[in-house]
Amino acid sequence: MATTFHFSTNLIKTTSFPQCNSITAFIAVSSKHSKSLLIRTAVNSRALTFNFNTTLFSLNCVAHHKFHDQQEVTDSLSSVTPNATSIASSIKYHAEFTPMFSRESFELPQAFFATAQSVRDTLIINWNATYDYYEKLNVKQAYYLSMEFLQGRALLNAIGNLELTGPYAEALSKLGYRLEDVACQEPDAALGNGGLGRLASCFLDSLATLNYPAWGYGLRYKYGLFKQLITKGGQEEVAEDWLEMGSPWEIVRNDIAYPVKFFGKVVTGSDGKKHWIGGEDVIAVAHDVPIPGYKTKTTINLRLWSTKAASEEFDLYAYNSGRHTEAYEALANAEKICYILYPGDDSIEGKVLRLKQQYTLCSASLQDIIARFERRSGATVNWEEFPEKVAVQMNDTHPTLCIPELLRILIDINGLSWKDAWNITQRTVAYTNHTVLPEALEKWSLDLMQKLLPRHVEIIEMIDEELIRTIIAEYGTKDSDLLEKKLKEMRILDNVELPSEFADVLIKSKEAVDIPSEELQTSEEVENNNDGDEEEAAAKNDEIDESFVQGKKEELPEPVPEPPKLVRMANLCVVSGHAVNGVAEIHSEIVRDEVFNAFYKLWPDKFQNKTNGVTPRRWIRFCNPSLSKIITEWIGTEDWVLNTEKLAELRKFVDNENLQVQWSEAKRNNKIKVATFLKEKTGYSVSPDAMFDIQVKRIHEYKRQLLNVLGIVYRYKKMKEMSAEERKANFVPRVCIFGGKAFATYAQAKRIVKFITDVGATVNHDPEIGDLLKVIFVPDYNVSVAELLIPASELSQHISTAGMEASGTSNMKFAMNGCILIGTLDGANVEIREEVGADNFFLFGAQAHEIAGLRKERTEGKFIPDPRFEEVKEFVRSGAFGPYNYDELIGSLEGNEGYGRADYFLVGKDFPSYIECQEKVDKAYRDQRTWTRMSILNTAGSYKFSSDRTIHEYARDIWNIEPIKLP
């Protein structure tokens, strides 16, 4: 009889291994620093045999060993020394006994799944040990809630963190495969879109590496965002298929499921408690993904929720009656919640679905967190201790509903008073702001939320009332205008009348205002204010009297529509959390001084800065091994992977010719790899001797891919006006690479994608230009593509309108890999420039404090565009890049006001500065010694931008958690 092993992740009590007569085979996989273990069961004492393409492999088993608890298993297995042979046996075991493919072949896809599952076995042991230890110590844990986790491929990262890259490469070689080829079979997990999700994933890596007790919570999107295709029409979206063959990393926890309710109504019971009843119920089911740390046993968890309906929701009668669609309607409604990331919300149905997603994440996660807290508390739960054991971080406003959800659970289910529950909630939750864009500061229709989450609206109204009391207490009622302004600016409920408790506050305050004597008029003054024209006044009175006598009805003005009633989610986060942080110094200043200034004046201690970071493991150590080897050689240690401040030591050798030669060779080798990739992916051939100029990020007007491509158009036009000799003398060869997705309903962003591809189609086929200029759009940009492009980059564009990019993280990755940035003083660019040196950063454009004035200048019609900008627009309109009509795209850059016009993102304003800065880039690139020096200094100055540093700051300043290293 086979033995079933139950692996826990701390929520479920660990089950001991039962006694049996079966045989347990041990396959040990470990590093030189820590031993990790594999456990599998055989059916008898004979050797297990595997047949792959008629080749027999054998795996020896250890017979008749009984284990009574997990520690005994761990202790026994720890003594086994891992090697390539045992790893190969583990891979073969999984190919035979945990298959996701047929047995007829052992091709690359099968090899990947079997390899990943063998790694997962290793992770499970460390994973269980981590949370068993946290359980034993009952430590405070941080819980990171995010709608996105852009993980990328996991195989190379996992074996790299476990220090098993060499043994796995050798093991796969024994089986006839290269590790790199096997790793390429893994699809990117489609759980995120851009920087928000990638930041969350970097944070999980750092939390595990630094041994912090933490957990990530997200949604398990079946189709992710979308897969991007580039056709003649531009971007097309198709469903992402990352789960088509299943995921070897996740473990579904069917025993960990929570009810999530929508709609219904709120009633008050005989006990005076509120009860949310009726409506639509779904079930959130946990899927766990282990996240290993680097050179540590600590392995933390990313818990992703999928949704389903209870089996009784399937209407068997309707199905048997032929009403098939009706029969599984409830099941389909439940499952579609986790179909895709950010479903289009132009329709009411889309808005409802997005709000359901957000609430599902918050409700399931909070129920899970509280269940864990209650279990660890034992028989007596002291809710005052909850903030001492739990820290909840909201990554942007998407998880805002965890605030009213926590209050609901504490009050309605656990019987706490409003005062106690509010105090606990405020001490537990914290908010990271990621944007200052008005459209991205999330607001929800109050009516929609009322229908979907009626109890939560009641709780939000109570929070709003608490805020109103605080505002009145702070500002008093004497100055009615000031009080009205503060209420309008700060309330959570926008365009909603004051609660009855406060209804007469503003009226009384206005009545109490003393009218200045100079504003009082005597009856004589009133008479004299008729401009001295008594006859005109009399005539007007006659007209009024006549119209009244004749019964004429005065035409009334059109009624002004009432503004929509909204819930301002960012305000709710700021009011309810104990900490609010921006993600770069300039961004945090804007948050304090502009976006939430009224709140900052009220609660200055809440506001912090936590400049973003990226994990140096994935973003240089693993994705750029050739450069990493050079860094280690010159610094003299590999400790820089954990202590990135050691990168600064490269500055001592920056002028060393041997280092410069090695550095340049590593960069060129990476460029050759990218050239091969681009040929396979796009069909375009590029020269590795040209400068690789890269802009890869979400397509958005504020990120200004349009400025980049218009600069390319200007460059191309000037080239066409020159002779071949002049072109060569004036321009450095460039390969301009774009990548990123435009949101499916963002028409202007999709026009930009189309424009880039049209420019590329024209330029790349122009025989006069040849290798002097290439324009490539890489379809379906993702983490894996980034890992290839970033090490090969030489110039990277981070050119957002100043004051609009919260931070950026790709800028950090590029700098870390020795790429020189061209950019504005926006987001983390400001700090990167400070660290790498102003001489090693190409700066252009207006600064954040100038933007409002420049927009006002435009509105007043005072802006005079540069002739070169007008020239470029005219060139585009001439049809030089095909028959597509770009009037709407170019029209957005024209006019002085109006939606979709007036160049809101100041492309025209910054265009002259941008192309002049690009001329400086060309000049610098011609001197390769100087350029390489700048490249080295960018890597040396990137040490601050490790996510390890960021996580240490969160842990110390917001979460109040300590590292817990496993014994």
What is the three-state SS of 475-530? Answer: HCCCCHHHHHHHHHHHCCEECCCCCHHHCCHHHHHHHHCCCCHHHCCCHHHHHHCC
Measuring CA to CA, which residue among 951, 949, 950, 946 is closest to residue 961?
951
Q: Above 60 in pLDDT, residue 538?
A: no
Q: Are 794 and 693 in contact, with CB atoms under 8 Å apart?
A: yes
* CA gyration radius, the chain: 32
Q: At 220, which amino acid appears?
A: R
Among the options 587, 667, 697, 949, which is catalytic? Answer: 697
Q: Above 60 in pLDDT, residue 524?
A: no
Residues of the chain with CATH 3.40.50.2000: 96-304+343-432, 616-844+926-945
Q: Are 146 and 106 in contact, with CB atoms under 8 Å apart?
A: no
* CATH number assigned to the domain with residue range 96-304+343-432, chosen from the 4 options 3.30.70.260, 3.40.50.2000, 1.20.1440.230, 3.40.1390.10: 3.40.50.2000
Q: How confident is the model at residue 103 (pLDDT cuts 50, 70, 90)?
A: confident
Annotated catalytic residue 323: no
Cβ within 8 Å of residue 246, ≥6 positions away: 100, 113
Mean local confidence (pLDDT), 66-93: 63
Give the pLDDT score at 6.
35
* CATH number assigned to the domain with residue range 616-844+926-945, chosen from the 4 options 3.50.50.60, 3.40.50.1980, 2.40.50.100, 3.40.50.2000: 3.40.50.2000
Among the options 295, 703, 833, 933, which is catalytic? Answer: 703
Annotated catalytic residue 679: no
Among the options 198, 455, 610, 698, which is catalytic? Answer: 698
Q: Are 725 and 779 in contact, with CB atoms under 8 Å apart?
A: no
Q: How confident is the model at residue 511 (pLDDT cuts 50, 70, 90)?
A: low
pLDDT in tens, 382-403: 999 999 999 999 999 999 999 9
Q: Above 70 in pLDDT, residue 156?
A: yes
Beta bridge partners of residue 350, listed in sequence order = none
Name the percent of the chain lying above pLDDT 70.
86
Among the options 303, 398, 434, 456, which is catalytic? Answer: 434
Annotated catalytic residue 35: no
Q: Which has more pLDDT, 454 or 1?
A: 454
For 482, how many CA atoms within 13 A lie in the half-sphere containing its CB?
Answer: 11
CA 193, CA 196: separation in Å to the nearest integer? Answer: 8
Give the pLDDT score at 436.
86
Give the distance from CA 700 to its chain's centroid: 15
pLDDT in tens, 875-921: 999 999 999 999 999 999 999 998 899 999 999 999 999 999 999 99
The CA-based angle 729-733-736, given to 5 degrees, is 145
> Which pTM value belongs to this model?
0.88
Mean local confidence (pLDDT), 615-631: 98
Annotated catalytic residue 540: no
Among the options 592, 813, 833, 949, which is catalytic? Answer: 813
Cβ within 8 Å of residue 184, ≥6 positions away: none
Annotated catalytic residue 809: yes
Q: Above 50 in pLDDT, residue 356?
A: yes
- Going by the DSSP 8-state scheme, the letter that residue 621 receives in this structure is I
pLDDT in tens, 246-267: 999 999 999 999 999 999 999 9
Name the least confident of 20-24, 580-584, 736-740: 20-24
Among the options 130, 360, 809, 939, which is catalytic? Answer: 809
Q: Are 715 and 693 in contact, with CB atoms under 8 Å apart?
A: no
Annotated catalytic residue 697: yes
Name the least confident of 46-50, 393-397, 469-473, 760-764: 46-50
Beta strands in 309-435 (DSSP E): 390-395, 429-432
Measuring CA to CA, which residue among 410, 363, 412, 365 is closest to residue 387?
410
Measuring CA to CA, which residue among 789, 760, 790 is closest to residue 773?
760
pLDDT in tens, 190-221: 899 889 999 999 999 999 999 999 999 999 99
Q: Are 239 and 343 in contact, with CB atoms under 8 Å apart?
A: no
Q: Are 364 and 931 in contact, with CB atoms under 8 Å apart?
A: no
